[in-house]
Chains A and B, each alone.
Chain A
Amino acid sequence: MQQLPASDPRRWDYQPAIHRAYLTKRPSGAPWGTGQNASWFFLPWHRMYLFAFENIVRSLLPEAERADWALPFWDYSSGAPANALPPAFRVPTLPDAMRNPLFVPARRASVNSGAALPSTVTDVATALAETHFTTTDLGASVGFGGPRTGFARHPAAFGGIQARPDGPVHVQVGGAAGLMSDPNTAALDPICWLHRANIDRLWEVWNIGGGANPTERAWLDRPFRVRIADGSSTRMTARGVLDTVTQLDYTYESLPVNTGVRKRPPRAPKLGRPLLIGINHDPVQIGRRGATAHLAVTPVPEQTTGAGPGRLHLHLTDIDGSTNPGVVFGVYLDLPDDLLITALSDNHSGCLSDSSFDPARVDRRADHLAGVTAFFGIQDTDPAIAAASRREPEGMRYSFDITDLADRLRARDEWRTDALTVTLLPVAPDDEPESLATDGTAPIRVGTFSLYQG
């Protein structure tokens, strides 16, 4: 694919442009820039994208090998050794001394060296625990697949599967300057396709575990144009890709057994539309070392609900920035003073001290962890970058269900009813080269930290 001529729509660099139109010269009729993110179309569109890619690759194989070849998936959540970049992608040269096309220097150096991805980055339990594919309420969980987009839309938000592990894996593999850290160039890194295949597999796992896909026609029948193996384009819909076996002729190894049990709603009752009970006053600038936001909280009086405090969700919205620092941040609530101060101290180079990541401190911080955020796609929020691509800047929103965490903190008398401190800290030591490991990159701005009850 990398050696195909520029005019061939099956060539390697044509595929990422389908997701984001990063190449300036767009062939007539090319379905470029049609990638769906932060939307309930994220999963079905990427399934179509993967299906087309797989068939393009298969079409270029010798005839005898086509029937047995399928795109592999990178199951980084299954522990060592799978939580490190597969060896085939790490060696710069092949045994015959030719350049390895699967190796890309533009990745985090430690990942190319075989370092394992942190478990907080690869965790899939939170996403798989989502009970709904999508929701429409601002202030509630966004759902497994992403928010319903359309009239009366709220800011674009990442669904559970995109918030973690999709975005964090992108950023952890790419680092500050890697291809994977930017949605415009991620698919130029061959590992991206195995990562996306795993995301697609996790959709299957969620369905098998009782998760139900939307039934609205607006989701099922929205058409997308996809380039197929012969270079022509075809229209596909979510309805046409729901059953991978009968409709797309593929399945995944070692899927869980379908017990037919549907997912149940979360423990605490839903009280109606969530209401905003806590918010910060000023925007917060987030550099490589993280930052802290302080929220003033005014809970809805319990006696008016009659059913207890309901669920709590933390949202990060009004997010913008021009560069991803290549850091995956943990989002921590009410960190104790000693962990807070220790983690934000620095040595002469401006990097987080390694003592911040000794196991005891990591374990204690984990008790306050609400989720992770990688700000994957932050470039799309910058008006100047968006204008250069002739499109509107996009919004970004993260949502965290903190009900269970709040219960645990409340049980330990570590939860306050009138205030909340939210701290973003890197989940792993800073292992980038010193030229990148400074706070010289433009910070990311988070305008609003909001706490919802409902």
Chain B
Amino acid sequence: MTQLSRAGPAASNPRPAPSGRRAPSRLARRPELVPVLASALAWVVLVIANGPIGHGHGAEGSHGLFTPNGIGLTAAMTIAMMGPLAVAGVRTTAFTSPWWRAGRAAAEFFAAFGLTWIVIALCLAAFAEAWTGWLASATAGTAVLVAVCALAQLDPGRPDRMTRCDRPMRLRARGTEADVDCVRFGALTAGRDVRFCALPMLAMLALPGNLLVMAFLTALVLADRVTEGRRRLPIAAAYAVIAVVLAL
């Protein structure tokens, strides 16, 4: 047991914030700006690349997945869809990190979350390309995948498993180990989301460039998470409607 010196008057040289920070950054108080702005930027990029409705050159067939352009568009689609789902983890990371590194912690979490999902998305995109090629129709392939999304909603254990998605993790407070923990937390959170978001993302990647379908799928993924799986039937119905519209 270390001996404590009896406390005297308030220390005349209080420990200053590291790195000369004088005030909390805006990101420290509003860390959700990171994923929200990143997602918004991604949508802007997609609209510019594909046009407002999105039936651009990527609407059917291969868009050169493993070209720089293809990888870039896949990354943009991933951030656009998954960015909002990082809000919970970004907030937890920022608010459980000391104030003088909260903005950095939020950025580290989101970078790891986003990069992990981009890697996952590239793998899914490769599968989607093969799937739609086998069916000889991207629209039909997407319709089938969206129908499977509807069926997946009917799993009664879904709400319980979904609570795992945003489980917090102890983050160390200082130094490189704090950076490592934030990155690990971001990657771990992305990994937990795969079970619930991989199918809609696969459907989205099977019809790249169709921003309307992508917007609907993103909205349903977000609705599913916000309601924590307690609105499975309406969301399943919405997926089913999209599948039927695509099939017709």
> Quick check: B88 and A152 within 8 Å, CB to CB?
yes
Within 8 A of B (CB), among A259-315: 272-277, 279, 281, 283, 292, 294, 296-301, 304
Within 8 A of B (CB), among A370-424: 391-392, 395, 410, 413-418, 421
Contacting residues, chain A, for B8 (C-beta < 8 A): 413
Chain B residue total in the interface (Cβ 8 A):
45
Contacting residues, chain B, for A299 (C-beta < 8 A): 14
Map CB proximity to B onto A118-159 as digits: 1 under 8 Å, 0 otherwise.
Answer: 000000000000000000001100000000001111110000
Residue of A nearest to B177 (CB): A281
Most buried by A among B8, B10, B98: B98
> Quick check: B99 and A277 within 8 Å, CB to CB?
yes
| A150-B228, A304-B22, A447-B170 known; A273-B29 Cβ under 8 A | yes
Report which B residues bind A (CB closer than 8 A): 1-4, 6-11, 14-18, 22-24, 28-29, 87-88, 91-92, 95-100, 102, 160, 163-164, 166-168, 170, 172-174, 225-228
Contacting residues, chain B, for A296 (C-beta < 8 A): 15, 173
User: B96's contact among A138, A298, A334, by CB below 8 Å, is which?
Assistant: A138
A279 to B88, CA, bound (A): 21
Q: Does A55 contact B (CB under 8 A)?
A: no
Map CB proximity to B onto A336-366 as digits: 1 under 8 Å, 0 otherwise.
Answer: 1100110010000000000000000000000
Sample of 20 A–B contacts (CB below 8 Å)? A150-B228, A151-B228, A152-B91, A153-B88, A153-B166, A275-B24, A276-B97, A281-B174, A294-B2, A298-B16, A299-B14, A301-B22, A317-B168, A334-B4, A340-B4, A395-B168, A413-B9, A415-B10, A417-B11, A417-B14
Q: Does A75 contact B (CB under 8 A)?
A: no
> Quick check: A416 and B11 within 8 Å, CB to CB?
yes
User: A448's contact among B87, B96, B228, by CB below 8 Å, is which?
Assistant: B96
Q: Does A200 contact B (CB under 8 A)?
A: no
Within 8 A of B (CB), among A410-454: 410, 413-418, 421, 447-448, 450
Residue of B nearest to A320 (CB): B170
Within the complex, what minimum Cβ distance (angstroms) separates A297 from chain B? 8
> Quick check: B98 and A298 within 8 Å, CB to CB?
yes
Q: Does A318 contact B (CB under 8 A)?
A: yes
Residue of A nearest to B87 (CB): A152
A279 to B167, CA, bound (A): 20
User: A277's contact among B4, B98, B168, by CB below 8 Å, is which?
Assistant: B98
| A392-B163, A450-B96 known; A340-B1 Cβ under 8 A | yes
User: B99's contact among A276, A413, A414, by CB below 8 Å, is which?
Assistant: A276
> Quick check: A416 and B22 within 8 Å, CB to CB?
no
- Report the 4 A-B pairs with minimum CB-CB distance, sorted nearest first: A275-B99, A304-B23, A152-B88, A318-B170
A274 to B172, CA, bound (A): 19
> Quick check: B170 and A152 within 8 Å, CB to CB?
no
Residue of A nearest to B226 (CB): A151
Contacting residues, chain B, for A410 (C-beta < 8 A): 10
Contacting residues, chain A, for B99 (C-beta < 8 A): 275-277, 298, 300
Contacting residues, chain B, for A334 (C-beta < 8 A): 4, 7
Interface residues on A, range: 35 or more
Contacting residues, chain A, for B88 (C-beta < 8 A): 151-153
User: A276's contact among B1, B18, B23, B98, by CB below 8 Å, is which?
Assistant: B98
> Quick check: B98 and A301 within 8 Å, CB to CB?
no
Map CB proximity to B onto A144-180 as digits: 1 under 8 Å, 0 otherwise.
Answer: 0000001111110000000000000000000000000
A298 to B18, CA, bound (A): 9
Contacting residues, chain B, for A272 (C-beta < 8 A): 29
> Quick check: B15 and A414 within 8 Å, CB to CB?
no
Within the complex, what minimum Cβ distance (angstroms) separates B153 from chain A? 17
A68 to B89, CA, bound (A): 53
Contacting residues, chain A, for B18 (C-beta < 8 A): 298
Contacting residues, chain A, for B29 (C-beta < 8 A): 272-273, 275
> Quick check: B1 and A281 within 8 Å, CB to CB?
no
User: B4's contact among A344, A415, A421, by CB below 8 Å, is which?
Assistant: A421
> Quick check: A292 and B14 within 8 Å, CB to CB?
no
> Quick check: B97 and A395 within 8 Å, CB to CB?
no
Contacting residues, chain B, for A304 (C-beta < 8 A): 22-24
Contacting residues, chain B, for A415 (C-beta < 8 A): 7, 10
A413 to B11, CA, bound (A): 10
> Quick check: B160 and A337 within 8 Å, CB to CB?
no
A336 to B5, CA, bound (A): 9
> Quick check: A275 and B102 within 8 Å, CB to CB?
yes
Contacting residues, chain A, for B225 (C-beta < 8 A): 151
Within the complex, what minimum Cβ distance (angstroms) separates B87 from chain A? 6
A81 to B24, CA, bound (A): 52
Within the complex, what minimum Cβ distance (angstroms) separates A287 from chain B? 14
| A304-B22, A341-B1, A392-B164 known; A139-B7 Cβ under 8 A | no
> Quick check: A300 and B24 within 8 Å, CB to CB?
yes
A150 to B87, CA, bound (A): 13
Residue of B nearest to A412 (CB): B7
Contacting residues, chain A, for B100 (C-beta < 8 A): 298
Contacting residues, chain A, for B168 (C-beta < 8 A): 154-155, 317-318, 395
